[in-house]
Structure 1
Amino acid sequence: MQKGTTVFIKLRRTLAPAMRQILEHVGPLRYVGVKMMSWYLKPTVQWDGHTVSVDPVDFGVSFELESTGEYEAASMAYCKSVLKPGMTFVDVGANIGLFSLMAARQVGPTGKVYAFEPGADNCTLLRKNIEQNGYRNVTIVEKAVSDKTGTCTLYQSGFNTADHRIYHVSNSRKQVTIGCVALDDYFPTGTTVDMIKMDIEGAEESGIRGMKRILNENQGVKFIVECWPAILRKVGTDPIQLFQSLEQTGFVFSFIDDATGAITRMANAEMAVMMCVQHKMANILCIRE
C-alpha cells in the first residue's frame, strides 16, 4: 500500500465522525461540500481491472476510491486469498459493488455472489457496474438485511451513500420505505455460504440475528463485519456482547487494519472491540478454527 494512501485513510478515519456530524446537521456546509465534490469526482474509475461507475456527489466509497485508487485494501486482499471458483459470497451492504465485483471474478462462472443493497441510487450503480464488467454470476437484492422480513424505513444520507441507515439519525435525512429481509429467510435450508461481508452502519446486530441458521449450517464460513462501537451503542447494541455472542458459537477474531494492511489475531471479543474503539471503526474477521 502506498504511503500517501495510508496517510489518507488514517486521516479520513480520524476525521470522518466529526465531519459526518457537521455535514449531517449543517445544511449550507453540506450543500457546498457536495457541490465541490461533484466538480472533483469523475463519473468512472478504473479499479482492479474493472470499470467502476461512481456517484459524483458521494463523500464515502466513491470519494475514497477516486482519491486513493483503493477501498478497504486489506479486507479485499483477504477475500481474494480465500475465494475460489465455485464458492458463494454474500455481500451485505454492497453499495456500488466493489466487493461484489472482486468476488464475482474470484468465484468465476460456477460460483455465486449475492449483493444486498437497500439504497435505490446505489443499486442503480451496482447493476451498472456488474453489467458493464460482464458478470452473470451476481444476484442483486434491493433490500436491507435485518432480523425480519417485511418493510422498514431507510434514512438516507445526503452526502455519503455508505451511511444510509435503517434507524432514525436526524430529521435532515430523507426517509423512504424499503423492503428488508432476514438472510435465514432468503436462503433455503442447506445453502452453502463460504464468505459473508457485512457493512450496514450500526444494524449489524439485527443482521447477525437474522442469519443464525446460516452461520450454524456453515461452520467453515468466513465472516467480515464492520465494527463501529460508537454507532452500535447509539442504537442500543453492546458491541462486546455482540461479538461475545459470535464467540460463543466458535468464532475467533482478527482485527483488519485497512490503513496499514495488517491483520492481527485478537485474544477475545473484548480485545477485538477495544481495537475498533481505538481506530474509531474497523472490519473484524470472524472465523472458526
Structure 2
Amino acid sequence: MSVIFLREIIKRVLPAKMVYAIQQWSLRRSIANYPSRVVCHQYGMHKLSVRLSDSLAEGWYDRDWNEPDEITLLKKGRLKPGAVVFDLGAHQGVVAMLLAREAGPSGKVIAVEATRHNAEIARENLRLNQIENVNVIHAAVAEKDGCELFFTATLDGAVQHDGAGDRVSTVSIDSLAREHGMPDVVFIDVEGYECQALAGAHEVLGQGADFFVEVHVGAGLEENGTVEQVFGQFPSSRYLLQVSTGEEMPFFSWKEGGALPSHRFFLSATLKS
C-alpha cells in the first residue's frame, strides 16, 4: 500500500481536525529529526548556497540544476534587469533567488509563501547569498486579500476546505501590484489554487505581464477550478502560449482549440510584441 493511498484513507476516515493534528506532529518530527545543513550548487547560471532543513528540500535542491526552461522562456520576454517579479508559492526561495539574479540590483522579486517553515528558510537562504532585492511575504495568494485560508501542515502545503489547518492570511496579485508596483513577470506555483490566484489579477492582466503557471491537473486544481479557466485568462490573440507536460519536457506552442492537458503541466504565457 502506497503512502499516498494510506494518507487518502486516513483523510476520509478521521475527522479533519484529527488529520490536521497528525500532520502537525509529523511535520514537527520530520523537521526536528532532519540533519540540517548548507549546500552549495550551480542552479542554472548561478551558484547559490541553500539551507537544507527537510527531506523535500533535499530532493529538490541538493544537486546542480540546468537552467529551468521556464526561466529561459521568461528571459526572452520581460525578465530583464530592472524587472518587477512576483514569485507566488515561492517555497524556500531558490527560484526567487534565480529570478532576482536576472532582475538585477535595479529589479526586485516579491516572494509569497503560505507555509511558515518554508518562508523562514527562504529568508535564511537570502541571507546566505546576500540577496537584498527579494521580499518574502508569509501569506497565501487568493482572489481577495485580507481573508484567512486553512493550509495543510505539510512541507508542500495546499489550501484546505474542511476548516482544519494552519490559518494563513491572503493577498491578491492586484493588491501586491498596488503595494509593490506593477509586475513584469508573475510566476505561479500554488498547488491547485491557480484559478483563485488569477481571479485576483484583473488589473495586472489588464495592464499586461508575462506569466508562468504550474497547473495542478489531478493534483488539486479540480477542487478549485478548471483547466479551461486557466487558459481563459490568456487569450492567444494577446499571449504566446507554450506548454510543457512534465519536468525536463520541452515546451511546445499551444493554440486555442488545442487538446487540453489531462495531468499536471506548465504554462508559459508571454505577451506578444
TM-score when scaled to structure 2?
0.79
Q: 2:50 matched to which residue of 1?
A: 52
Q: Distance in 2 between matches of 1:139 and 1:269?
A: 39
| Alpha-carbon spacing, 1:189–1:108, altered in 2? closer, same or farther (3 Å) | closer
Q: 1:251 matched to which residue of 2?
A: 239
Q: Note if contact 1:244-1:269 (Cα within 8 Å) is conserved in structure 2.
A: no
Q: 1:282 matched to which residue of 2?
A: 265
Q: Note if contact 2:153-2:165 (Cα within 8 Å) is conserved in structure 1.
A: no
Unaligned ranges ≥5, structure 2: 11-18
Q: Check if 1:195 corresponds to 2:195.
A: no
Partner SS state of residue 246, structure 1:
coil
Bigger drift between 174-183 and 79-88 goes to: 79-88
Partner SS state of residue 49, structure 2:
strand
The percentage of aligned residue pairs carrying the same residue is 19
Q: Note if contact 1:75-1:256 (Cα within 8 Å) is conserved in structure 2.
A: no
Q: 1:212 matched to which residue of 2?
A: 202
Alpha-carbon shift at residue 151 of structure 1 (Å): 2.8
Q: Note if contact 2:152-2:160 (Cα within 8 Å) is conserved in structure 1.
A: no
Q: 1:111 matched to which residue of 2?
A: 107
Q: Distance in 1 between matches of 2:3 and 2:69?
A: 24
Size of the alignment, in residue pairs? 253
Q: Distance in 2 between matches of 1:257 and 1:44?
A: 32
Deviations 1:50-108 (A, max 9, x none): 001123243xx442223x53388322433455522111111000000111110111111
The match for 1:260 among 238, 245, 248 is 248
Q: Note if contact 1:75-1:258 (Cα within 8 Å) is conserved in structure 2.
A: no
Q: Distance in 2 between matches of 1:269 and 1:207?
A: 24
Alpha-carbon shift at residue 122 of structure 1 (Å): 0.5
Alpha-carbon shift at residue 197 of structure 1 (Å): 0.6
Specify which structure has the bigger relative contact order, considering alpha-carbon pairs within 8 angstroms and separated by 6 or more residues.
1
Alpha-carbon shift at residue 134 of structure 1 (Å): 0.5
Q: Note if contact 2:236-2:256 (Cα within 8 Å) is conserved in structure 1.
A: no
**Cα root mean square deviation, aligned:** 3.3
Q: Note if contact 1:74-1:257 (Cα within 8 Å) is conserved in structure 2.
A: no
Alpha-carbon shift at residue 269 of structure 1 (Å): 6.4
Deviations 1:7-35 (A, max 9, x none): xxxxxxxxxxx75444455699x96xx86
Partner SS state of residue 268, structure 1:
coil
TM-score when scaled to structure 1?
0.75
Give the letter aligned to residue 242 of structure 2: S
Alpha-carbon shift at residue 248 of structure 1 (Å): 7.1
Q: 2:37 matched to which residue of 1?
A: 43
Deviations 1:159-188 (A, max 9, x none): xx23x122337x9xx612111011212322
Unaligned ranges ≥5, structure 1: 1-17
Q: 1:74 matched to which residue of 2?
A: 69
Give the letter aligned to residue 69 of structure 2: A
| Alpha-carbon spacing, 1:147–1:44, altered in 2? closer, same or farther (3 Å) | same
| Alpha-carbon spacing, 1:211–1:180, altered in 2? closer, same or farther (3 Å) | same
Q: Note if contact 1:44-1:53 (Cα within 8 Å) is conserved in structure 2.
A: yes
Give the letter aligned to residue 217 of structure 1: Q
